[in-house]
């Protein structure tokens, strides 16, 4: 699949105190017609992540119609799993509610950070969304995931909740500093709150140079499933990847041209990261982050 870049949508540049920099891990929720709410993550001057949103006409991505003035989810109180930051990951609607899955951050001393998966719930009917967070993580490190859990994608199918998420594999000293390695694994739930990870690897690392696979974005596609993600090498920043599956369990990676490469110059000239792929009418769109893990913001592309 080929993608045509439509341009950068937004970047955190001090518009608000909690929006000093970055616009990371975008997620698109259709409100009505061509109107979409884009959830994203910005950082304050202390480098703490906050979840916010903006609204736009998806056919006029260069015009922001609304921008939230207070974060939906802010860092938690000291000692909580998210006291150093809350980062957007995924949202599903179910039973008249919105389930917002996010990444909770803690700063560490032996390693740079620890992350786990949190949940915030709000009314689906609310025109201006508001969420209440669960006080603890819904998926945390365990025997199946000994280092950390992060960055979930969640679908509901016939009453079964399905999650594809990052599982930490360890830490190593790379050229740019200590860095975490991770792959994509699978879990299921009856209610979206209590999850049963089995250590099943959906996408594992391949070759000597591959170091991390992040932000799975899964769609039902024709008679099966399609996943987009970003993959990082030891000596190269994130690039787009894709895979297909018949059942959402066993995946086949596409090792060809991803169809969306970094630009020659500008905000996405170094990195293509954190894709969210969604369909609108007959078009398929992708939100993605650019340089510096979204320090330069996020943009939009359309399949051609």
Instruction: Quick: pLDDT tens for 10-37.
Output: 999 999 999 999 999 999 999 999 999 9
In this predicted structure, the answer to whether residue 221 has a pLDDT above a threshold of 90 is: no
Distance CA 265, CA 259 (A): 17
Q: Is 207 left (phi over 0), alpha (psi -120 to 50) or beta?
A: left
**Could you say which DSSP state residue 294 is in?**
H
In this predicted structure, the answer to whether residue 176 has a pLDDT above a threshold of 80 is: no
Q: Model confidence over 93-104: pLDDT tens digits?
A: 999 999 999 999
Q: What is the pLDDT of residue 222?
A: 82
pLDDT bracket for residue 225 (50, 70, 90): very high
Q: What is the mean pLDDT of residues 39-66?
A: 96
Of 97, 87, 104, 101, the closest CA to residue 49 belongs to 87
In this predicted structure, the answer to whether residue 69 has a pLDDT above a threshold of 80 is: yes
**Could you say which DSSP state residue 46 is in?**
T
- Is the pTM value of this prediction over 0.75? yes
For 133, the domain range is 3-303
pLDDT bracket for residue 128 (50, 70, 90): confident
In this predicted structure, the answer to whether residue 296 has a pLDDT above a threshold of 90 is: yes
Strand partners, 105: 85, 115
In this predicted structure, the answer to whether residue 297 has a pLDDT above a threshold of 80 is: yes
In this predicted structure, the answer to whether residue 165 has a pLDDT above a threshold of 80 is: yes
Q: What is the pLDDT of residue 207?
A: 86
- CATH number, position 92: 2.115.10.20
Work out the percent of the chain whose per-residue pLDDT is above 90: 90
Give how many domains the chain has, as a whole number: 1
């Amino acid at each position: 699949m080929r993608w045509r870049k439509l341009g950068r949508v937004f970047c955190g540049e001090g518009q608000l105190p909690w929006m000093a920099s970055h616009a990371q891990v975008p997620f698109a929720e259709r409100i009505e017609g061509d109107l979409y709410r884009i959830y994203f993550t910005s950082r304050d001057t202390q480098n703490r992540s906050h979840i916010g949103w903006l609204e736009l006409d998806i056919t006029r991505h260069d015009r922001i119609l609304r921008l939230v003035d207070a974060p939906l989810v802010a860092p938690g109180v000291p000692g909580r799993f998210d006291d150093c930051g809350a980062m957007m990951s995924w949202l599903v609607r179910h039973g008249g509610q919105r389930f917002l899955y996010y990444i909770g951050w803690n700063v560490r001393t032996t390693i740079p950070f620890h992350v786990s998966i949190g949940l915030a719930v709000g009314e689906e009917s609310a025109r201006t969304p508001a969420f209440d967070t669960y006080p603890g993580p819904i998926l945390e490190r365990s025997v199946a995931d000994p280092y950390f859990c992060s960055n979930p994608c969640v679908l509901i199918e016939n009453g079964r909740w399905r999650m594809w998420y990052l599982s930490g594999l360890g830490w190593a000293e790379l050229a740019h500093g200590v860095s975490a390695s991770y792959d994509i694994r699978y879990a299921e739930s009856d209610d979206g709150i209590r999850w049963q990870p089995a250590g099943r690897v959906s996408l594992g690392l391949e070759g000597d140079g591959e170091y991390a696979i992040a932000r799975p974005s899964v769609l039902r596609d024709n008679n099966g499933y399609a996943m987009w993600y970003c993959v990082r090498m030891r000596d190269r920043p994130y690039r787009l990847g894709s895979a297909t599956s018949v059942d959402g369990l066993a995946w086949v990676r596409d090792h060809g041209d991803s169809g969306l490469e970094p630009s020659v110059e500008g905000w996405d000239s170094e990195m293509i990261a954190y894709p969210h792929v969604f369909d609108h009418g007959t078009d398929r769109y992708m939100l993605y982050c650019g340089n510096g893990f979204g320090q330069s913001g996020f943009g939009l592309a359309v399949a051609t």
